[in-house]
Structure 1
């Protein structure tokens, strides 16, 4: 089994390099996936006024920079994104921009590359903290960016990658001083305290946010398909009767047994989960595969945006001759979206395989 999974990992790297160079910026280690850790603080009582998800404060990266593992960051970058970025001084732009000397450079200003207006209007420079926020969730950092990578959940991996990017310079940006680290930590604590206490004092309110059923009620399977198409077409087939590739065929998977797709060998960790792929399990899997099935060889970090997960789940639902019915709340009159036309577009790495960091090596054109 170990040899088989190793072959899958190798095949994923080859396929990602040659067939589908479109996804994120950089990702977690792909050959030896680490246990993903909780890297953000969900602040209770800080939900958006219209019932959106609770506020997330991204921990400061500065305390980790002095001990960042540059070798680990280099390994991540080489395995995940060498097909889409150049890293040498004066290297040409590829699918993504050249990343030499990116730390400290102006945002969306790499020579020879056309960036999206979403990233261009962010302004400023790529500081340690800006890179930390970008890698955590590109869509939240620059809403509307064409970057489809859902974000890197491990703060240590973010630090290692940023440390490696820092080394790509003839004059690397100085590491944070102890005073800067202390100031960043103090600012974070102040922000956490301010967000956690509701106006007027008292106990923090419970987090408010739409349920999965509510999200499915307004899900857009077209957007789910678009997101999926950008993420993993090199690893899955999606047509009826499609062959297993690096990952299993995903046609008619909603409602099907977990790890039961014919013609594909799943890891023991996913096999022992049992049950069927209902909406809740798919949402849990897409949130964090490692937490859903500890020990899975799936290295994809997960999709942090609840709305996008719902879009992808609903898209997968449409890949069937007889789509599973939406939950009652989601299927209420006037709420159910029109099903998207069936297509071959892939989904966000739901395969239980060792894939190349979900091809997180680059921005898509005009990120």
Structure 2
């Protein structure tokens, strides 16, 4: 092969390379994205329209006294079935993983004979009032840190009131409902919803 043929081949390679380089530069100029001034994306956050604007907080439940006025013993009995794996409800019933709940309303904490309470429950002291039961049933481990009760709690306030209303009937002489809960309709319901008979 003579030098003329070699020069033709090298010229073709050089021309092709020059053409490809020109096409590359041209496409970069046409399709090049805009570089942002700073990396990342702007996230649009809607600011309150006035300085007084506040984030809406979930509503606090009504006091237990008011919820008891609307509570229903039968609904509470049904809801309390989820507790029956660990508790018994009848007078003289055995302790299980948790203590027997007959006479729980008005009873001193950690006082059921024959049940081994956690230190946290013994140290809490006081009595199981309507309000205390409501707080405990909301979040047992949050209200009595260290309790051995593993139940997660009852988040719905009306359901807790139903359960507390049912628990209050589990006694030979049930503790009187708070005055606020003693509406005429509630009094009639309590006449019908008598305490369960002992077996």
- Structure 1 residue 233, shift from structure 2 partner: 2.0
- 1:325/1:201 CA distance change after superposition, 3 Å: farther
Q: Deviations over 1:235-273 (max 9, x none)?
A: 222111112122111101100001111111100001101
Q: Partner of 1:338: helix, strand, or coil? A: helix
- Structure 1 residue 209, shift from structure 2 partner: 4.3
Larger relative contact order (CA 8 Å, sep ≥ 6): 1
- 1:272/1:337 CA distance change after superposition, 3 Å: farther
- 1:256/1:209 CA distance change after superposition, 3 Å: closer
Q: Deviations over 1:184-208 (max 9, x none)?
A: xx8xx97xx89xx9xx994547846
Aligned residue number for residue 132 of structure 2: 281
- Structure 1 residue 343, shift from structure 2 partner: 4.4
User: What's the C-alpha RMSD, in Å, of the aligned pairs?
Assistant: 2.9
Aligned runs of 1:259-338 on 2, under 5 Å? 259-336=110-187, 338=189
Unmatched 5+ stretches in structure 2:
1-42
For the residues of structure 1 that align with 2:118 and 2:60, how far apart are their CA atoms? 36
- Structure 1 residue 223, shift from structure 2 partner: 0.3
Aligned residue number for residue 59 of structure 1: none
Q: 2:76 aligns with which of 221, 224, 227?
A: 224
- 1:227/1:201 CA distance change after superposition, 3 Å: farther
Question: How many aligned positions are there?
Answer: 151
Q: Is the 8 A contact 2:107 2:127 kept in 1?
A: yes
- 1:283/1:332 CA distance change after superposition, 3 Å: same
Q: Is the 8 A contact 1:219 1:337 kept in 2?
A: no
Q: 1:243 aligns with which of 90, 94, 117?
A: 94
Q: 1:215 aligns with which of 67, 71, 82?
A: 67
- The TM-score, its normalising length taken from structure 1, stands at 0.37
Q: Is the 8 A contact 1:217 1:336 kept in 2?
A: no
Aligned runs of 1:22-33 on 2, under 5 Å? none
Q: Is the 8 A contact 2:107 2:128 kept in 1?
A: yes
Unmatched 5+ stretches in structure 1:
1-185, 345-367
Q: Is the 8 A contact 1:218 1:336 kept in 2?
A: no
Deviates more, 1:294-303 or 1:249-258: 294-303
Deviates more, 1:291-300 or 1:301-310: 291-300
For the residues of structure 2 that align with 1:337 and 1:305, how far apart are their CA atoms? 25
Q: Is the 8 A contact 1:218 1:335 kept in 2?
A: yes
For the residues of structure 2 that align with 1:245 and 1:262, how far apart are their CA atoms? 12
For the residues of structure 1 that align with 2:159 and 2:188, how far apart are their CA atoms? 14
Aligned residue number for residue 87 of structure 1: none
Matched, 1:252 2:103: yes
- Structure 1 residue 342, shift from structure 2 partner: 3.8
Q: Is the 8 A contact 1:286 1:302 kept in 2?
A: yes
Q: Deviations over 1:59-101 (max 9, x none)?
A: xxxxxxxxxxxxxxxxxxxxxxxxxxxxxxxxxxxxxxxxxxx
For the residues of structure 2 that align with 1:218 and 1:309, how far apart are their CA atoms? 12
* Structure with greater helix percent: 2
